[in-house]
Amino acid sequence: MKILKGVVASSGVVIGTACLYAEKVEEEIPHYVIEKDRTKGEILRLEEAIKKAKETMGSMARAAEKLFDKRASEIFSAHVLILDDPVLLERMKDLINTKLVNAEHAVSDAFEEYVKTYEKSELHFSELSHDVRDVRNRLLVSFGNLAGHFECPVGERQPVIVVSKRLTTSMVLNIPKEHVLSFVTEEGGFTTHATILARGYNVPVVFGVSVEVNIKCGDKIIVDGFDGKVFVSPDQATLDRYSNKISDIQKRKAVCVSVKDAPSKTQKGLRIKLKANISTPGEIELLRGLQYDGVGLLRTEFLFLNKETPPSEEEQFNMYKHILEEAKGLPVTVRLLDISPDKLPPYLNLPPQENPDLGIRGVRALDFFYDIYLVQVKAILRAAVFGDLRVLYPMISDMSDIDLFKKLIVSAKTSLKKEGKKFKKSIKEGIMVETPSAALLLDSLIKNVDFVNIGSNDLLQYTLAASRGNPLIEKRYHILHSSLVKLIELVVKSGKTHKKEVCLCGEVASFEEFYPLLLSVGLRSFSVAASKLSSIKCELLNHKRPDKTISKRLHKAVSKEDVDRIFFR
Please give the single-letter amino acid code of residue 165.
Answer: K
**Cα 541 to chain centroid, rounded:** 25
19 is catalytic: no
- Rounded mean pLDDT, 243-264: 81
- Write the single-letter amino acid at 498: H
Question: Residue 96 carries which DSSP code?
Answer: H
Cβ atoms within 10 Å of 566's Cβ, excluding its own? 18
553 annotated to a ligand binding site: no
| pLDDT tens per residue, range 55-65 | 877 777 666 66
Mean pLDDT within 325-350:
84
Query: Is 193 noted as a catalytic residue in this protein?
Result: yes
202 is annotated as contributing to ligand binding: no
- The answer to whether 390 is a known ligand-binding residue is no
Model confidence pTM above 0.75: no
What is the Rg, in whole angstroms, of the alpha carbon atoms belonging to the chain?
Answer: 24
Which CATH number applies to 25-141?
1.10.274.10
Inter-residue contact 12 to 203 (CB < 8 Å): yes
Closest C-alpha to 142, from 262, 216, 60: 60
299 appears as a binding residue in the annotation: yes
Q: What pLDDT is recorded for position 561?
A: 77
Report CA-CA distances (Å) from 68 to 4, 60, 148, 528, 560. Answer: 30, 11, 21, 12, 29
CATH code given to domain 263-567: 3.20.20.60
pLDDT band at 305; cut points 50, 70, 90 = confident
Q: What is the DSSP letter of 11?
A: -
Q: pLDDT tens digits, residue range 420-448?
A: 999 999 999 999 999 999 999 999 999 99
Say if residue 138 carries a ligand binding annotation: no
pLDDT (0 to 100) of residue 6: 86
Query: Which element (helix H / strand E) includes 252?
Result: helix 236-258
Could you give the residue ranges of the DSSP H alpha helices within 259-366?
313-327
User: CA-CA distance, 174 to 168, in Å (whole number)?
Assistant: 10
Instruction: State yes or no: 457 annotated in a binding site.
Output: yes
Q: What is the pLDDT of residues 195-236, one digit of tens each?
A: 877 877 889 999 889 898 899 999 999 999 877 889 999 999
Q: What is the homologous superfamily of the domain 2-23+148-255 according to CATH?
A: Phosphohistidine domain (3.50.30.10)
Question: Higher pLDDT residue, 303 or 118?
Answer: 303
Rounded CA separation 355/345 (Å): 18
Q: How far apart are the first and last CA of the chain?
A: 21
- Diameter over CA atoms, the chain: 77
Dist CA 4 CA 208 (whole Å)? 9
- Contact predicate 333/296, CB 8 Å: yes
What's 310's DSSP letter?
Answer: P
- From the candidates 79, 505, 538, 543, give the one annotated as an active-site residue: 505
Q: Cα dihedral sign for 411, 417, 422, 426?
A: positive
The one-letter amino acid code at 19 reads C
The whole-number average pLDDT for the span 532-559 is 82
Active-site residue, selected from the candidate residues 193, 478, 481, 543: 193
Question: Domain extents for the chain?
Answer: 2-23+148-255, 25-141, 263-567
